[in-house]
Amino acid sequence: MKARVSELTVGIFVILFGLALFFLAMKVSGLAGSSLGTTYQMTATFDNVNGLKNRAKVTMSGVTVGRVDAISLDPVSRLAKVTFSLDKNLTTFSPDQLKSVEKDSLEELRYGDDYQQANAQKQKEMEKQLLDSMKSITNIDSDAYIMVATNGLLGEKYLKIVPGGGVSYLKPGSSINNTQGTMDLEDLISKFVTGMGKSSPSTEANSSDTAPAQSTKDAQPSFTE
């Protein structure tokens, strides 16, 4: 009886351990916990996306805001093109927030030289054009950049959006131009080894410069009568 209880306990433990490993693998691979709200797509091109996979997370300030949809190679530029979806609720402004952003943008526009040198009609046109361009924007500014980051030293690859400081914002469907690709460990080791191999030129002292100077006896003058 005790043997059966022990076997049953071990069996339950093995099943629970297997389920824990399964959910952990699903979490790491991005197949679990990836529910997003209403989304829109954006793109970015990288020189190297080694290790980045479909459904990898996209974060901003440590918060998951999207997922990678597709990774392809641009046949013209021969760069990696990554298409990813972003959660609209997390990466766009609410109506009240948008009014504040529009106010800040108008203030910056009015301080510009082109605005101050224009006449009243031209100024109104510039303001209208600015407000029309901000009707459908994200909270990702044009100065932001996106990089391929790593969870830990050997963890999974994901996309990390780093906000900039501008007041010009990107629209859904546009591309983030400032990018940073994967930094391969092999490249770092190669650069390190190459740097170590370069020795500084040795300066050999000339024997003529280092040889001790021969002492000369002072010749005393002789007086003859």
CB 34 within 8 A of CB 55: yes
Query: b/e per residue, 83-98, with b = 16+ CB within 10 A?
Result: ebbbbbebbbbeeeeb
Parse the chain into domains and list their residue ranges: 35-92+138-181, 93-136
pLDDT in tens, 8-40: 777 787 787 777 776 665 555 454 555 678 899
What are 72's two structure tokens? Answer: 């392809």
What are 57's two structure tokens? Answer: 């997370």
pLDDT in tens, 178-219: 999 887 666 667 666 777 666 545 444 454 454 444 444 454
What is the per-residue pLDDT for 148? 94
CB 209 within 8 A of CB 174: no
pTM flag (> 0.85): no
DSSP 8-state code for residue 64: E
* Burial grade of 61 (CB within 10 A; 0-12, 13-18, 19 or more): exposed
What distance in Å separates the CA atoms of residue 164 and residue 149, rounded to the nearest whole number? 17
What is the per-residue pLDDT for 203? 47
Helix and strand totals (H; E) in the chain: 7, 8
